[in-house]
């Protein structure tokens, strides 16, 4: 019998490259996979040669506990071999909560009545200074969708305000942008404004669910939303970050949706997702979690993160502070390569937190620790927290980045950059305990750098940073 991939055309000439029936059939067919079939996929996964849709569906349907443990083990090995022990750090910056949409799951939906606001240039600079004081170098700029109150020119000005705010040694070196799907022309403007990654969550690939979640709104146009990255790529943005909001539809369907979307971009533009985010649905103002039948359990969540790591080894996996410290710690083992720390998900939230105030947030957070606390735990667990932003500033983006990543050459710069940015953090923002822990880790990790010339260079640069220089990178 022919397998589904040979018989169904999922990537037709039109833009609906996500074929709902195809995904459902894949999942149905995979339910009858035997233990031996699953083992074959696991053996293939170990070779890191990529998985077919059918393979991914089989792993998603696996229920056998021993085989699930093996999925974790393979994901952990892949993660270690590609990302080593580095974890990239970032924080979100919410600039506007005006929104014309009514997404059922979101605290910023139009029907929620609260005083909306967008930050002035000065307020953005205040927020950025607070983020810089926490040691952040990489931000994700977030805004609701409102063409009138939050037009593209406002976003461009906000980006400029962020990049131009320097505070002692604090500076934001990379801004990733998460704003609503827009036109090629607007994406060109974002590209010119020197954004890092353009992030957009599909929320759900399951069209009937998508339609229900986005009633009577601009965002309700599934196809326009789905093809946003095509327009971004057309405009020259080659780093795009996908994601879904896990909890809206069957998570197995969503993982296959993500994989097919990724492949569509790879096939058409030579590069797929730079990152995939894994937000799980949380309580927010005006949403009742009891009304969502697909809430994702911790076990299922771990499984889908691990399967994604196996299926797309070179794509960064992002986890936000929506997840608890324990869950984040666990998922770092199976695939997560980027985490946020010290986050606020309210507009002007960092200033308000300093003042002890509390406003409407987009959703509830579970990890409230400061970056210093997060870094202490990471270092105790032998991870290297990294504030590196080098690739984008060196022009290593899109397919250039991916070809370096796939040949493993990127590793020669990631660890050195992680160590140098960690040293910067220790010099400028840490307390005594973190400094000691961090310095010991840097010494240990320096010895592990294989190339002698690189090791010597990094050692020299660490000393230069201790003597006051900043922003040294490879």
Least separation in angstroms between residue 153's CB and ligand SF4 is: 19
Least separation in angstroms between residue 244's CB and ligand SF4 is: 12
Least separation in angstroms between residue 442's CB and ligand SF4 is: 16
Residues within the interface to ligand SF4 (CB under 6 A): 88, 99, 101, 103, 106, 108-109, 144-145, 219, 386, 388-391, 410, 413-414, 417
Decide whether 26 or 391 has the Cβ nearer to ligand SF4. 391
Widest Cα–Cα separation across the chain: 68
Decide whether 334 or 387 has the Cβ nearer to ligand SF4. 387
Query: Whole-angstrom Cα distance, residue 137 to residue 128?
Result: 10
Decide whether 414 or 462 has the Cβ nearer to ligand SF4. 414
Decide whether 30 or 119 has the Cβ nearer to ligand SF4. 119
Least separation in angstroms between residue 348's CB and ligand SF4 is: 16
Decide whether 170 or 316 has the Cβ nearer to ligand SF4. 316
Least separation in angstroms between residue 414's CB and ligand SF4 is: 3
Least separation in angstroms between residue 149's CB and ligand SF4 is: 12
Decide whether 103 or 235 has the Cβ nearer to ligand SF4. 103
Decide whether 62 or 204 has the Cβ nearer to ligand SF4. 204
Least separation in angstroms between residue 6's CB and ligand SF4 is: 36
């Amino acid at each position: 019998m022919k397998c589904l991939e040979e018989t169904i055309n999922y990537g037709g000439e039109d833009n609906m490259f996500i074929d709902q029936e195809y995904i459902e059939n894949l999942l149905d067919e995979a339910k009858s996979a035997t233990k031996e079939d699953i083992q074959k996929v696991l053996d293939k996964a170990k070779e890191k040669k990529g998985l077919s849709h059918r393979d991914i569906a089989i792993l998603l349907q696996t229920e056998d506990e021993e085989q699930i443990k093996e999925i974790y083990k393979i994901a952990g090995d892949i993660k270690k071999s590609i990302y080593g022990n580095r974890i990239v750090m970032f924080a979100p910056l919410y600039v506007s909560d005006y929104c014309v949409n009514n997404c059922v799951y979101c605290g910023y939906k139009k029907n929620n009545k609260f005083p909306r606001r967008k930050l002035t240039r000065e307020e953005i600079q205040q927020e950025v200074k607070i983020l810089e004081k926490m040691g952040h170098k990489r931000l994700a700029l977030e805004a609701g969708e409102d063409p009138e109150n939050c037009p593209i020119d406002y976003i461009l000005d906000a980006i400029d305000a962020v990049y131009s705010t320097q505070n002692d040694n604090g500076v934001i070196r990379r801004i990733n942008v998460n704003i609503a799907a827009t036109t090629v022309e607007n994406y060109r403007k974002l590209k010119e404004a020197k954004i890092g990654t353009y992030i957009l969550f599909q929320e759900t690939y399951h069209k009937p669910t998508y339609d229900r979640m986005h009633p009577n709104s601009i965002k309700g146009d599934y196809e326009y939303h789905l093809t946003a990255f095509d327009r971004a790529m057309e405009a020259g943005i080659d780093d795009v970050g996908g994601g879904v909001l896990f909890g809206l539809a069957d998570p197995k369907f969503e993982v296959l949706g993500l994989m097919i979307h990724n492949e569509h971009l790879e096939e058409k533009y030579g590069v797929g997702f730079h990152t995939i985010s894994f937000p799980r649905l949380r309580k927010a103002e005006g949403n009742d979690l009891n009304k969502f039948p697909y809430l994702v359990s911790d076990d299922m969540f771990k499984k889908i993160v691990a399967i994604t790591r196996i299926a797309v080894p070179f794509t960064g996996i992002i986890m936000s502070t929506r997840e608890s410290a324990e869950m984040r710690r666990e998922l770092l083992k199976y695939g997560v390569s980027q985490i946020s720390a010290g986050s606020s998900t309210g507009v002007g939230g960092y200033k308000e937190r300093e003042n002890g105030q509390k406003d409407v947030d987009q959703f509830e957070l579970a990890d409230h620790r400061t970056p210093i606390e997060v870094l202490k735990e990471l270092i105790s667990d032998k991870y290297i927290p990294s504030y590196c932003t080098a690739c984008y500033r060196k022009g290593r983006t899109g397919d250039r980045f991916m070809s370096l990543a796939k040949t493993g050459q990127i590793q020669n710069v990631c660890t050195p950059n992680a160590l140098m940015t960690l040293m910067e953090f220790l010099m400028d923002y840490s307390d005594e305990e973190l400094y000691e822990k961090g310095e010991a880790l840097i010494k240990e990790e320096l010895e592990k750098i294989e190339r002698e010339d690189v090791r010597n260079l990094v050692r020299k640069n660490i000393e230069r940073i201790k003597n006051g220089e900043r922003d040294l990178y490879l």
